[in-house]
Structures are given as structure tokens and as C-alpha cells.
Structure 1
Amino acid sequence: MRIGDHVHGTVTGIQPYGAFVNLGHDIQGLIHISECHYGFVKDIHDYLSVGDEIDVVILDIDEFTGKISLSLRCMEEPQVPLAPVAPQNEGHHKHYWTNRNVHDGFKTIQKRRHAWEQEALREFVAK
């Protein structure tokens, strides 16, 4: 088997994170839940059941551990990317939570550092 091969297998087990697939000859691979279908997959049981015979693509083979990563979504039709959404409030300036004209940097931390250290010392000495 090689990365990119299309193989046939049987789903032997399902966990919340993915499905195990028997590829024959005592070889097993895993389809991660993110590789079941394009888009968000809330429950893998919506797409697979134990005993399903499926065609998958080999994504990766870890030669050290022998783990095989599989993909079911690579067998689906490629999804057409959505067009970018134009901003609805054109002409308005972007809102910043800080004032770009104030350049305090770390001065505010420096001002409060001593009080924080004293508070921490009181906390740990009291215990």
C-alpha cells in the first residue's frame, strides 16, 4: 500500500474521534472524524456504521508505528469554495478596543507590578 492509493475496507469499530477500517491481511486503518465528510461532522454515526464496506484513500502511513490514516471525504466530489463575503458596513472605520494614539506599552504593567508582588507575597505567607 502507498499514500494516495484507493482501497476497499470494512468498518470494524467506531469511536467519537473516528472509525477503524479493516483493509484485509490483518491491516487496519483509521478514518479521523474530520476526514469523514466535507464540513463539520457532529456525529460520525451519521456517516458510518460498523460493517459498512467503503472505499477510502490512504492519507498517511507511519512507518515507525504502522498506523494508516484514511480519508472518506477524498472520495467525495470536491467542494466548490464559497465566494468571500463583502463587508456589510462599508465606509465605516474599523473599531479598535484600544486607542492607537496612546503608546503606553508595558508602562501599565510596570505601574501595577509592585502591588501584584505584594498581594502574591501576602497570599503565600498567609498559607
Structure 2
Amino acid sequence: MAVEIGSKVQGKVTGITNFGAFVELPGGVTGLVHISEVADSYVKDVNDHLKVGDQVEVKVLSEKDGKIALSIKKAIDRPEGQSPSYSQRPSRPGGRDNRSKDFRSKGSFKPKESFEDKMAKFLKSSEENLSSLKRNTETKRGGRGGRRG
């Protein structure tokens, strides 16, 4: 039996890995349910949701080079307009969920000074720092007439 993309079929979990679960479909073919397709909520460990031998309904997402991609969460029928149980990513601790400060999106951004001006300023300050460093190290070496032994 050929597996049709988009169809929902019953399968049996034959193996579990850290990246998903292998499901045997009718006809003896095996497909993979990726960890991101196991449940609507965040899945840290597939073993929390599935066990080897479980009967599950899966939706066939794609088939390429004999590899079949399956989804458990897309096999669940939802009424129109009902979103999955997670609508957004969970908020991060620290409250840095404000994404309105995207500086890359402003096309008319003009820097205050050009790159050449910044380089000239950097070179000048770096030369000043080097000369003061040389002056300080020369005085500490003893110069002429330093005491010896």
C-alpha cells in the first residue's frame, strides 16, 4: 500500500529516539514523527508522550527518498479558528519579550559619524595611548645613572 501525502493513518510506535519516534504504518513501511510534531506543547522528552507499542493516529507530511515524515499534532482535528494550545513562545524570565526595538528594520538610519571619522579618532587615541605607555615604561627602567648592584 502506497502512503498518500496528507492522509491520516493509524500506526504503531516501534522506536523512540531523542529527536522523535518511529511509527510503523500499514503496509510495513516506517515513518518518523519528529519531536516538534509529537504534541502542541513543548516536548522536552518524547518518552513523556509516547511509549513503544502505542497505537497513534498520524498525518503523512511528506515522502522523500523513502523517508516518510509524520505528524501526530496535525492529525488532531480542530474546529476552524481554534489555535493550538500554544499561541506564542513562552515568555522568557527577565521580561525581555519586547521586540519593538528592531534597529535593522529602519532603512533611513544615518550614523552620526562616518567610518573614516571613527577610524581617524581611534588611530589618534591609540597613538596617544602608545606614546604615554612608552614614556611611563622608559622612566621605570632607570634611564642614565641608575643604581646597579
Shift of 1:102: 2.7
2:138 corresponds to: none
Structure 1 counterpart of 2:115, which letter?
Answer: D
Evaluate the alpha carbon distance shift between residue 95 and residue 50 of structure 1 in structure 2; reply closer, same or farther with a 3 A threshold.
Answer: closer
5 Å-filtered alignment, 1:1-127, equals: 1-62=3-64, 65-76=65-76, 77=78, 78-79=83-84, 81=87, 100-104=111-115, 108=119
Give the structure with the higher percent strand.
1
Supply the distance in 2 between the matched residues of 1:31 and 1:42 (Cα, whole angstroms): 14
Gaps of at least 5 residues in structure 2 are 89-96, 104-109, 124-149
Identity within the alignment, %: 39
Supply the distance in 2 between the matched residues of 1:100 and 1:47 (Cα, whole angstroms): 52
Gaps of at least 5 residues in structure 1 are 83-87, 113-127
TM-score by length of 2: 0.55
Shift of 1:42: 0.6
Shift of 1:2: 1.2
Supply the distance in 2 between the matched residues of 1:52 and 1:95 (Cα, whole angstroms): 46
Supply the distance in 1 between the matched residues of 2:102 and 2:74 (Cα, whole angstroms): 41
Q: Tell which has more relative contact order, 1 or 2 (C-alpha 8 A, sep 6+).
A: 1
Aligned length: 98
Give 4+ residue runs of structure 1 displaced > 2 Å after superposition: 75-78
Evaluate the alpha carbon distance shift between residue 101 and residue 67 of structure 1 in structure 2; reply closer, same or farther with a 3 A threshold.
Answer: same
Q: Tell me, what secondary structure is at the counterpart of 2:15? A: strand
Supply the distance in 1 between the matched residues of 2:25 and 2:39 (Cα, whole angstroms): 20
TM-score by length of 1: 0.63
Shift of 1:75: 2.3
Supply the distance in 2 between the matched residues of 1:60 and 1:44 (Cα, whole angstroms): 21
Shift of 1:95: 9.7
Q: Tell me, what secondary structure is at the counterpart of 2:6? A: coil
Evaluate the alpha carbon distance shift between residue 13 and residue 103 of structure 1 in structure 2; reply closer, same or farther with a 3 A threshold.
Answer: same
